[in-house]
């Protein structure tokens, strides 16, 4: 299991199961698909975007591979991309929480929470 929490989630979720807590966040849902959910929420008066991945199953993995597409297995790819962009000095969003559990890539449970980019055009 991987878990990285920055404030305010580090303080709010101290001693709690972050995967249970992230599933309980509420707000405006922007996208909801099988195994994936994106929503905007507010915590301590600040806006955040939450992406939750619950595993897409082997059928979806194989379907993507057969159509020459790499399947999105979880939030890890976005976490690594944001981290790398920060390392090379490219302005981008700030990730404040990331979690991943499960060794089966088709059933992995993961999430990423980013600070809202507002105001933007």
Name the pTM for this structure.
Answer: 0.88
DSSP of 68-86: T-----SSHHHHHHHHHHH
CATH number 3.30.200 is the correct assignment for the domain at 2-115: yes
Q: Hey, what are 12's tokens?
A: 């709010």
Average pLDDT over residues 104-121: 85
Condensed to tens digits (0 to 9), the pLDDT of residues 41-65 reads 999 999 999 999 987 767 777 777 7
User: How many Å from the N-terminal Cα to the C-terminal Cα in the chain?
Assistant: 37
For 43, the enclosing helix (H) or strand (E) is strand 36-43
């Amino acid at each position: 299991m991987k878990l990285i929490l920055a404030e305010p989630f580090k303080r709010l979720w101290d001693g709690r199961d972050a995967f249970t807590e992230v599933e309980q966040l509420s707000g405006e849902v922007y996208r909801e698909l099988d195994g994936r959910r994106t929503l905007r929420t507010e915590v301590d008066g600040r806006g955040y975007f939450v992406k939750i991945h619950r595993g897409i199953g082997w059928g979806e993995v194989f379907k993507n591979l057969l159509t020459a597409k790499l399947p999105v297995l979880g939030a890890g790819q976005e976490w690594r991309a944001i981290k790398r962009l920060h390392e090379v000095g490219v302005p981008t969003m700030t990730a404040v929480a990331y979690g991943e559990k499960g060794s089966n890539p088709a059933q992995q449970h993961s999430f990423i929470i980013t600070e809202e980019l507002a105001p933007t055009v």
